[in-house]
Amino acid sequence: MLVSRAATAPAGVAALVTRASATGPERVRASTRDGGDGAGRARVRAHVATALIAILLATAWPWRARAEDARQPLLEDFGADGIRTLDGTFWLGGDVTMVGALLEKGPSFIELDDINLLMRYEPHPRLAFFSETRLEDTLTIADIGGVDSSPDVAIERLYADWLVGSGVTFRVGKFLTPFGLWNVIRRAPLTWTVERPLVTEETFPEHTTGVSALYQTTVNAWSLDAIAYGPAQDELPLRKSDEDRRLFGGGRIAIAHAVGPAFVALGLNGAAGERATDRTRGMYGADLELSVAGHQVMAELASAQSTGRGEADLWGLYVQDAMPLVPTLYGVVRYEHFTPMQGGATDGGLLGLWWRPWRHLIVKANYQFATKERDDLQRGLLTSVVLFF
């Protein structure tokens, strides 16, 4: 995959990648949307709002004061790039994400969302093993429904990379589907917003279990990446998921080049996979990254079709810009459109702030708008605090 300035700017961390999904909150919203007393709910909302503000202040300002303090390194400290040991052949990283929301209609909540542990071992210059394990839905406190704790351990990624040579790398195992931009930088330290755009989580499977081949080269100052991937089997035997029993394969090609003061990357994506009905559908997309004058622009367009009907089942797009306000603070704006297979289209907007007061801490605050609300796109304020190393 091309790694452009826009992909790496949010965390400054090449080794860490997220999801900012709301699996736990969605379960709370679905089970409690119609219940509760109005006055009592308002009081609880006030308590939740106070707690959110306290969390933001308590986690942000003290760390800002300590950012310049000398710290004792753990083994070998690579700043926010994890820890290396065993002569640099073993790398360890991780992050913890806390999410809070004050929604216009749905229940408000505070959630200890994800705890992630990443490991990479390189026994040979051409061979590397990588794993990402996630503890998700750890703890949720909502103004309706109270406390919910249903932690679950998930294997997000587990694969081996073999550098063949001449720019060719083979990967075997479970990995993030290299479709578009967002899915491969989905981890909280690397994304500008709390929630991901709808089109990036509804159009294609988020994971692929199988084999991929990546080719990277540079021709006349143009960077070229091409990747093909497909399943050696249809599921990871260590764990069941909602993506099980689906054969899936595809490819991506991307080019990048500096154009005057700007850096531009363009990508095209294509894939095909089985649906629950055993029919095969095609998935297509295009994406753009632009870095110019401090602005980090991302845009994706994707659609999924069914060969059974010969027409588009769903399609969507988003355009997002992150702009520097001060050295550690960015403003973020986003527009998105999504037309699902059923339920009608929705247009969404986002205004947000992204703040990194300390190199191991990121604070985000987003206000979402929507013409038609969904469980994964609701009007209201979303905040998150991400600690990572």
Q: In the prediction, which pLDDT does 308 show? A: 59
Q: In the prediction, which pLDDT does 268 show? A: 98
Least confident piece of the model among 68-72, 252-256, 290-294: 68-72
Give residue-wise pLDDT tens across range 248-280: 899 999 999 999 999 999 999 999 887 655 566
Confidence of residue 150 (pLDDT cuts 50, 70, 90): confident
Cα 107 to chain centroid distance, Å, stands at 23
Choose between 182 and 45: higher pLDDT: 182
Q: Where are the beta strands (DSSP E) in 125-167?
A: 127-142, 146-148, 152-165
pLDDT at 8 exceeding the cut of 60 = no
Looking at the 3D structure of the chain, how many domains does it have? 1
CA distances from 331 to 78, 97, 269, 296 (A): 27, 20, 29, 10
The average pLDDT across 302-322 equals: 81
What's the domain range around 158? 5-388
Decide: helix, strand or coil at residue 361: strand
Confidence of residue 317 (pLDDT cuts 50, 70, 90): very high
Tokens of 187: 């981890």
Q: Where are the beta strands (DSSP E) in the chain?
A: 83-85, 90-103, 109-124, 127-142, 146-148, 152-165, 168-176, 207-219, 222-230, 248-259, 262-274, 280-292, 295-306, 311-326, 329-339, 346-358, 361-370, 380-388
Choose between 77 and 249: higher pLDDT: 249
pLDDT at 30 exceeding the cut of 90 = no
Choose between 344 and 258: higher pLDDT: 258
Residues written for the chain: 389
Q: In the predicted model, what is the mean pLDDT of the chain? A: 79
Give residue-wise pLDDT tens across range 323-337: 999 999 999 999 999
pLDDT at 118 exceeding the cut of 90 = yes
Q: In the prediction, which pLDDT does 340 show? A: 87
Confidence of residue 182 (pLDDT cuts 50, 70, 90): very high
Q: What percent of the chain has pLDDT over 70?
A: 72
Question: Nearest-CA neighbor of 1 among 202, 172, 201, 251?
Answer: 251
Q: Could you tell me which residues are beta bridge partners of residue 260?
A: none
Tokens of 346: 């929705």
Exposed e or buried b per residue across 90-127, where buried means at least 16 C-beta atoms within 10 angstroms of its C-beta: bbbbbbbbbbbbbbeebbbbbbbbbbbebebebeeeee
Least confident piece of the model among 56-60, 100-104, 140-144, 370-374: 56-60
The average pLDDT across 53-65 equals: 42
Cα distance between residue 299 and residue 93, in whole Å: 29
Q: In the prediction, which pLDDT does 151 show? A: 85
Q: What number of other Cβ atoms are within 10 A of residue 71's Cβ? A: 9
Q: In the prediction, which pLDDT does 121 show? A: 95
Alpha helices in 20-178 (DSSP H): 23-32, 38-66
pLDDT at 107 exceeding the cut of 50 = yes
DSSP 79: T
The average pLDDT across 177-184 equals: 95
pLDDT at 11 exceeding the cut of 60 = no
Angle, vertex CA 18, rays to CA 263 and CA 7, nearest 5? 5
Q: In the prediction, which pLDDT does 234 show? A: 52
Q: What percent of the chain has pLDDT over 90?
A: 52
pLDDT at 64 exceeding the cut of 80 = no
Decide: helix, strand or coil at residue 58: helix
The average pLDDT across 294-315 equals: 81
Choose between 125 and 311: higher pLDDT: 125
Which CATH number goes with the domain that contains 224? 2.40.160.10
Q: In the prediction, which pLDDT does 279 show? A: 67
Question: Nearest-CA neighbor of 249 among 287, 205, 288, 218?
Answer: 205
How far the first Cα of the chain sits from its last, in Å, is 23
Q: In the prediction, which pLDDT does 22 show? A: 36
